[in-house]
């Protein structure tokens, strides 16, 4: 909201235009820690069905994560909604090449990726002034999320279809 408000003020002053208001929000501007969820589907219909289910339940996962004492806020975005800045169309869709894919680059990609940007509470500095690393285990929250997905679609093994991984801001920027 504050970003939009600042942009509207710039538009009123004439130093920005309306198109800028509708550009995708770059989540990496405000977050340093991310949970990446990658859905791999067997076909387009499965991608649409499972992707829609996950889209509809991601707010539950964000709420679970926000219950953690060291996670202040969580923001959800699809990786395809990020600014492209150098990503190929396959990468921006969350398609990942493996050694087996090297010969078949035209193969259809049935994959979708979401990023959950997390604002973390900083650890108290040590007496020598250094900032300790804080390890946060979100396994419990992911298990609850997978449970909700399984309740909605018991035929799908979401542990195989939906992979969660931790990504830092520097890793996210490096992949662009």
Q: What is the pLDDT of residues 99-129, one digit of tens each?
A: 444 444 334 478 999 999 998 888 888 889 8
Confidence at residue 90, expressed as pLDDT on a 0 to 100 scale: 43
Q: Is the dihedral of CA 42, 47, 49, 53 positive or negative?
A: positive
- Name which residue leads in pLDDT, 174 or 8: 8
How many C-beta atoms lie closer than 10 Å to residue 115's C-beta?
22
What are the tens digits of pLDDT across the range 130-153? 888 888 899 999 999 999 999 999
pLDDT value, residue 143: 96
pLDDT digits (tens, 9 = 90+) for 55-82: 999 999 999 999 999 999 899 888 764 4
CATH homologous superfamily for 31-174? Answer: Poly(A) polymerase predicted RNA binding domain (3.30.70.590)
| Cβ neighbours of residue 92 closer than 8 Å, sequence gap 6 or more | 79, 80, 82, 84
Query: Average per-residue pLDDT in the chain?
Result: 80
Give per-residue pLDDT as tens, 23-54: 766 666 777 889 999 999 999 999 999 999 99
Looking at the DSSP assignment, which residues form a beta bridge with residue 101? Answer: none
pTM over 0.75: no
Cα end-to-end distance, the chain, whole Å: 26
> Rounded distance, CA 114 to CA 129, Å?
36
pLDDT at position 165 over 50: yes
**Residue found under tokens 């609850």:** 144
Residue spans of the domains in the chain: they are 1-25, 31-174
């Amino acid at each position: 909201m504050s970003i939009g408000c600042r942009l509207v003020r710039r538009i009123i002053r004439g130093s920005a235009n309306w198109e800028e208001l509708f550009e995708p929000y770059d989540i990496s501007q405000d977050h340093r820690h991310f949970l990446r969820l990658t859905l791999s589907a067997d076909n387009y219909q499965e991608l649409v069905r499972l992707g829609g289910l996950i889209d509809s339940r991601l707010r539950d996962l964000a709420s679970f994560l926000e219950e953690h004492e060291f996670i202040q806020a969580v923001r959800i975005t699809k990786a395809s909604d990020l600014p492209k800045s150098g990503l190929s169309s396959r990468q921006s869709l969350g398609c990942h090449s493996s050694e087996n894919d090297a010969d078949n680059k035209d193969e259809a990609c049935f994959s979708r990726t979401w990023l959950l940007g997390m604002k973390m509470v900083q650890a108290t500095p040590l007496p020598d002034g250094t900032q300790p690393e804080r390890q946060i285990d979100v396994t419990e929250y992911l298990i609850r999320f997978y449970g909700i997905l399984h309740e909605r679609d018991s035929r799908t093994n979401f542990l195989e279809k939906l992979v969660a991984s931790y990504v830092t801001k520097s890793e996210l920027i490096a992949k662009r």
